[in-house]
Each structure stands twice: as structure tokens, then as C-alpha cells.
Structure 1
Amino acid sequence: MLVKMIAALSALVAFALALFWLPQPPTLGPQTTGDPALAAQVRGAAGTDGYQSLSVALIEHGRIRFAGLGAADGTRAADQRTPYELGSIAKVMTGMLLADLAEEGLSPDTPVRDLLPGAGLSTTATVAELASHRSGLPRLRTTPQAIAGALLSTYTGGNPYRGAGPEVVLADAAAVRVGERGKVAYSNLGMALLGIALAEHSHTTYADLLRTRVLVPLGMTSTKALTPQDGLPPGHATGRAENGMAVDPWRAHGHAAAGVGVWSTAEDVAKLLHAVMTRTAPGADAANPRWSQNERHRVGYGWFTTQYGNRAITWHNGGTGGFTSYTGFDRATGRGVVVLSNTDKPVDAVGLRLLGIEKPDGENRSPVMTVVMILFAFSGLGLAWSAARNRGADRLSVTGRGLWALLLLWVARNAGPWNGVPPVVWLAGAGVLAAAIALAVLRWPSLATGCTPVPWRSWISVALPFALLITFGVAVTL
């Protein structure tokens, strides 16, 4: 009787905890600021699922309109002055810095080694090749530590860059294997290295170079590349994953030129975009496409230009753990757009629809990842089978299956597609695990303690998921 009571209580507690941790994917709320007509247009282009808030600027024939939709921090309405993490849109400003410095005599054909002679760089790429992603440098340096950090950030919402400074970027650039030069291959490392090199050439920091060369001339008073001493901007939006998980801001001043730790507003980015469109911005010709990636895509200094039928859209997007962004323009129509969001659901399609592109690229979700995460959510079935049907089960194996099921359920919660798949599916998986725990408790007294000596594989099956659960738990609290 006591065992049955414990089993029932275990199932009840497990399911109650699952209800408490049920994924809550963001939905665009009713809050609206700015131009009502533009706000209605944005809602039509974006839908409501997957976004917590959107801050939008639309430029048409020199006129700039703004609209804010949803909540920037859960309750406060977003508007054009709400700061968001900008992400890789900062790369266009780094490209503009190169174009501006080139007007004063810095040759775009200067090897980056010449600007950083003591760094021991492995690349012979020029600054123009860095700015156009043709340097042969990889996206980022791949190390076991970097892979572990990326995985942890995906499942815990942490910062994968961990505050890396310029010295880390230089060490990475010196250690990586360089690929084919001249071929367009997107590189965050290359753009971060370019920013450090341009700052060294100018005898300053990247944050100060950006401020004096681009931000101050354009009146972008709400844009900043954060240094380690800076706090987050007042009134900033809070970032979330598309499945609702809270996400830490990304900070790493060494990667600022690539878009890490750069904050801005729709109002400020609209100033930048308008000045580029009218060719009045410092380094405005960075947006001119100079090299071809393929038949549809060309690249300048930081800016990309993509052909949609007979229309050429010059653009860049951005994405961090909890924010996405897009800015683009069509010179032929005189229309430009800025879209900032505080979830990780891409906003490229929203921006393109506002530019009049009705069938944007890349809107489909990977069905493989969706299936995998649903299977992870129902991993408690393995524990249920082991506890109810497997006569050879012992306490160690049942414990291992239970820990794996709990770990995979956690992974599914934080990385699953719960914006496109109803969260009740995850809750059903949690219910299966709760029932499996109850079955395991009921059968526990009759289970063997395991063979003697216990095979090392049995210990690993318990120790590994336990260690991963502890690691994830610590990562979440840091």
C-alpha cells in the first residue's frame, strides 16, 4: 500500500512540475504603437505566432514611418525607440567603416596581417576579402569547447560567446585552417577580425571607431557596441526563443564587429538605412555589390544583394539567441525596411513582404528536427517498457532510463518546435514519463540491484545523463 501511495505521489509531482514548465511560445500581443496603417500591414505580413514583439520602420520615397507591435518585456509595448540586440546587421556598419577609411587612403587590398603584424595570423586575406566573406576563414573556430558552448546555449538559453575579447578572436584567427580565398563563404570570425584590424589601424577600439565614424555623423544616439563595463540599454526588449525559453543577451566585445553585443532601435537603423539609400552615409558605397556568390546573390562590403525576379534587394539580417533582425532596400522603388524582433524566429520574410516580395525564401521548418524533438518528448516510453515489461530490468538500468528520459524531455522543452507544434504534445510526453516513474516505483522492490560486478556500461548509462543534467542545471543558473 505504501509503495502504491509513493508511486501515485511521484506521478502527481512529476506531472505538476511538467505543467509548471510547460513551453509557452510567444504570441504577438494586441499592443500597437506608431502608424496604425503600417501596424496593420505588419500584422498581415508576420502573423501572430512566434513573435513577442516587432519594431518596424518603413521608408517610402524619403518618408519614414514606424510601428511597434506586441510587448517588449512582457507588458510594455514596443515602439521605434525600444532597444533590441541587432545581431549581424552590425556587419554592414563594419563594411561601411572599411569603405569610409578607404576614402582616406586605406587600400582595400591591404592584407590584414599588415594591420595586425604581431598577431601571428594564419590568413593572407585582404581587408576587402574579410568584408565580403571571401577570406577563406571559417564561420567560427571549431573546438570541443566551442561546440559544447553552442550546445549548452541552445538548450539552456545561455551566451555561447562568454564575453570573448579581441585577444580570443586573434587567437582563433591564428589557429584556424584557411580555406579557398575568393569564394563567398559567410564568416563571423572574418568580420570580427576585420573590425579589430580597422580599430588597430585607427589607434582606437572598435566601439569608439563605430561611434565616431558612423553613429555620431548619422545621429544614431541609441546604438552602441557594448564594452565589458557597459550595462544593457535602458528600456531594452527581453529576448526569448521561439518556443518561449528565456535567453541571455549575447556579449563578447571581441565579436562586436560581427554583431555580438550591439544594440539599436528601429529609429536608429532607419537613419542608417535612409542615409545609405541616399548615399549620404559615411562609407555608403559599401552597399554596392562587387562580387558574385551565384546567379542570384552578390556581395559588397558587408551588404548582400539578392535578385527576386527583376528586383534587386540589398539587405542584411541578424540573429542572436533571443533576437532577430532584418534591414533591406530596393533602390528602384525607393523603399526600405527595418524589422527588429525579440524572439529567435527569423523576420526576413516579414521584411521582404513589406518590400513587396510576396514569396520570400527559406520559410520552411525542418521536419526532421520536429520529429526528433517529438520523439525526445516521449522518451519516457523507454522507462515505461523497462519498468512494466522487461523482466531482466534491474535498479541500475531503470535509473539510467529514467535519467535519460528526463534529460531528453528537458532538451525537447528547450529546443523543440513548440511554436509550430502544440505544447500539449510535450505535456503528453511529460505525462508518459510521470506514468513511467510511477510504474518504476511500483516495481522497485522486486527489481534486482544489478549483477556483480556491475558492467561499466551500466554505470555509464547512469552517470552520463546525471552529469549532463547537472551541467545543464548549472548552465541555466550562471
Structure 2
Amino acid sequence: MTDTHGDGTLAVEVRELLGDRHPVVVAATLSPDGTRLAGLSADLDADFELGSISKGITGLLYVDALDRGEITPSTTLGELLPLASAPAAAVTLESITTHRSGLPRLPASAAPLRRSVSLWTTGANPYGETLDQLIGQTRGVRLQRPKARYSNLGFELLGHAIASAAGMTYADLLHQRIAVPLGLDVFYVPATPDELRPGAVIGTSRSGRARRPWTGEAVGPAGGIRASIRAMAQLTAALLDGSAPGVTALDPVARFSGPVRIGAAWITLDRLGRLITWHNGGTGGFRTWIGLDRAAGTGVVLLSATSLSVDRHGFELLARLTGQAAAAHRCEPGER
């Protein structure tokens, strides 16, 4: 029998939607009618790996740094990080936010194929570099033709560059400019397994094998943040009401792929006639999704401790929620 926490009705809906292949999952729904939280085999304060949702949060920090006057869109990586005369030193921060920097997905010197094989066979963490190691790898990177090309390396460097401009580490930047202002108690970026909280969830592969946590100083801005569903609900509420630091990061500014547009990491697409702003994430043992219908004031977060996608389920849950909110509005007394 599944141990459930929070809203029982939402828990049932999530279980029916995701099925038994996601045994450990938490969810949040937000609408004008309120916020609902549910946990299946995890309590509401247990923390999950967010994966690339971390990029969206780094996008918020980028825009917040712009608003503070600490950086400009044309500020380069070389102005903030010790890249010497490396080609990457000339890359602008703005180009990274829309994945148009010319930086590869990962540095070749990081041996991404070997690390991927190690992940598949042993569950090893493919990201564990220190910032100094990341800088060393980046000095040898050759830039590619600038076009829409997803880059983990780019967002790693972006986050650490923003932190450098503020005179602090990325972990401290995240804490002081996102977690503290929004009151997020469980929202952090561990550099080593020793820094994991006691409530940290262990992720699993599709077959249910435990995966080692993806910790590392370097990966934090691109995929290393951990959070509870309670904290993610608070963040989503601040994104919807406009009170989150750097919230205009959500606004699309460029085309990413086909009709899909991108802001500072955040993706916007038209789905069934609704503009949805979203980001997903994936690590060795987790899959995550956050989506907003900003016009309707609705949002959904799904965090699963299994490496099976929850994207389709997130879009479906958000569509249901938005439809319910619209139906409730039509039925309000005095409405015709």
C-alpha cells in the first residue's frame, strides 16, 4: 500500500495518471482556487533532484543580476571567470540564456560518452567536477556555429559567472536571492553527497535500481539543485504572481525550435490553444516537470524519483487544472 501525504484527491489523480512505474512521486497544483500538494511514498518536505529545472532557476538569477546592475546582456564569460584567452571567454551571458552561445553540450575533455556508459552500467554520477575543474575543461573548448543548441556547459558557466559578479558562490547566490526571499526551506545545491539533507530522496533507474546522487559544485546551475515539493509550490506561486526575483526570465525573447520560443532558459509553446511556459529535468534517478499557464494563473509541478519522463503527465495535469479553473469561473454566481 502506497504511503500518501497531503491532498488525498490529488494523490489519487497523480497515481492514476502516472501509474505504478513512478512509485515515489510528489506533485503540486496551483490555481486561483488555491494550492494542493500530494506525496506518494515521500513526504512534502523530502527533497528531490530537479535536474535541468535548475537552468530555469539560473535564468531567474540572470535576470535578477541584470536588474541589480551587476551584469549586462553583453557581459562575457571572460570578464567574470578565469578563462584567459580561451574562445569561450568571448561568449556573452545573454547568448547562453537562449542556448545560442556556440558552446557544446559538454566539454569533450569531460569524456561524456565514457561517463554515460558508467552511468548506465553502474549508476555513477557523471557530474562531480569542482568549479576549477570545469574552468580547466572549458579552456580547451572550441566554439561551434551559434545557433539553438542545448548546452549544459553553457548554463554551468552562466551560473558561476553570475555568482562571481555578485562576489559569492553559486550555492550562496541561490540561497540569498531565491530561497531566502521566497521562504523556501528545502532548496539547495549540494556539492558532495555529504551535503545532502537527511530527507534527501534516492532516485532509481527505470528498472528500480538505486542511482547515486548527482552532486557537484560545477553542475549546480545547470542541474544540481534539490528541492521539496513544498518549496517548488512556493516558487511556482511567486512565478505566477510576479513576485519571484527575475520573473521576466519566463518571457520568450527568441525562437528555439520551430514554433517553440525561449526566454532565459524557460520554454514557451502553444499547446491546444494555450501558451504554456515550462521546463523539465532529468538525472540518473529522477524526472521532473514544471509548467505554467500564466494567463489562467495555473501551475503544476511533478517530481518523480524514477528515470521515466513525466512531461506528458505534467502537460495533461495542467490542462485538466486549467479547464477546471475555467469551468469554476463560468459557474460563479452572477456570471453568464
Q: TM-score, normalising length from structure 1?
A: 0.64
Larger Rg: 1
Give runs of aligned pairs for residues 159-198 of structure 1, distance below 5 A.
159-161=125-127, 163-181=128-146, 183-198=147-162
User: What residue is the counterpart of 2:196 in the other structure?
Assistant: 232
Measure, in 2, the Cα distance between the counterparts of 1:110 and 1:153: 35
Distance, in Å, in 2 between the alignment partners of 1:80 and 1:312 is 29
Distance in 1 (alpha carbons) for counterparts of 2:316 and 2:28: 13
Tell me the SS of whatever aligns to 1:254.
Answer: coil
Q: Which residue matches 2:91?
A: 125
Amino acid in structure 2 at the alignment position of 1:214: I
Aligned partners of 1:121 and 1:170 also within 8 Å: no
CA distance in 2, matches of 1:86, 1:293: 22
RMSD across aligned positions (CA): 1.8
For 1:31, give the aligned amino acid: D
Structure 2 matches for 1:244-259, cutoff 5 A? 244-259=208-223
- Residues 226 and 152 (structure 1), Cα distance of their counterparts in 2 relative to 1, 3 Å cut: same
Distance in 1 (CA, whole Å) between partners of 2:58 and 2:19 is 33
Q: CA contact under 8 A between 1:58 and 1:338: conserved in structure 2?
A: yes
Q: 2:39 aligns with which of 68, 73, 88?
A: 68
Who is 1:339 aligned against? 302
Which of 219, 223, 230 does residue 187 from structure 2 map onto?
223
Q: 1:114 aligns with which of 67, 71, 79?
A: 79
Q: Which residue of 2 aligns with 1:39?
A: 11
The letter for the 1-side match of 2:31 is E
d(CA) in 1 for partners of 2:179 and 2:274?
A: 30
Pairwise CA distance, 1:112 = 1.8
**Structure with bigger RCO (C-alpha 8 Å, 6+ apart):** 2
Q: Give the equivalent residue in structure 2 for 1:401.
A: none
CA–CA separation in structure 2 for the residues paired with 1:214 and 1:144: 30
SS at match of 1:100: helix
1:93 aligns to 2:64 (yes or no)? no
Cα pair 1:199 1:209 within 8 Å, conserved: yes
Paired with 2:200 and 2:256, the residues of 1 have a C-alpha distance of 36
Contact 1:57 1:80 in 2 (8 A): no
Q: Percent identity?
A: 38
CA distance in 1, matches of 2:33, 2:94: 31
Q: Is the 8 A contact 2:148 2:257 kept in 1?
A: no
Q: Deviations over 1:97-125 (max 9, x none)?
A: 11001011121121222222544432222
Secondary structure of 1:344 counterpart: coil
CA distance in 1, matches of 2:110, 2:257: 33
> Comparing both structures, which one devotes a greater share of its residues to strand?
2
| Deviation per residue, 1:47-99 (Å, 9 max, x gap) | 22x21211000001161100112x3xxxxxx1221111111111111111110
Which amino acid in structure 1 is aligned with residue 314 of structure 2? G
- Answer yes or no: is the 8 Å Cα contact 2:110–2:137 preserved in 1: no
Q: Is the 8 A contact 2:193 2:215 kept in 1?
A: no
Q: How many angstroms apart in 2 are the aligned matches of 1:227 and 1:250?
A: 9
In 2: Cα distance, 1:235 partner to 1:317 partner: 22
Change (3 A) 1:118 1:135: closer
Specify the code of the residue in structure 2 equivalent to 1:323. F
- Secondary structure of the structure 2 residue equivalent to 1:87: coil
Residues 1:272 and 2:272 are matched in the alignment: no
Alpha-carbon distance, 1:295 to partner: 3.3
- Residue ranges of structure 1 left out of the alignment (5+ in a row): 1-28, 72-77, 359-478
1:233 CA displacement? 1.1
> In 2, Cα distance between the equivalents of 1:149 and 1:275?
37
1:227/1:152 CA distance change after superposition, 3 Å: closer
Deviations 1:145-188 (A, max 9, x none): 43222201111111112x2011122122221221122x221100
User: Structure 1's 357 and 128: CA in aligned 2 closer, same or farther, altered over 3 A?
Assistant: farther
Say yes or no: does 1:304 pair with 2:275: no
Unaligned runs of 5+ in 2: 322-336
Asked if 1 retains the 8 angstrom alpha-carbon contact of 2:48 and 2:305, the reply is: yes
Runs of 4+ that moved beyond 6 A: none
- From 11, 23, 44, the equivalent of 1:52 is 23
The one-character-per-residue Cα deviations of 1:121-147 (angstroms, maximum 9, x if unpaired) are 322221111122111111111348432
After TM superposition, the score normalised by the length of structure 2 is 0.90
- The aligned residue for residue 152 of structure 1 is 118
1:326 alignment partner, SS class: strand
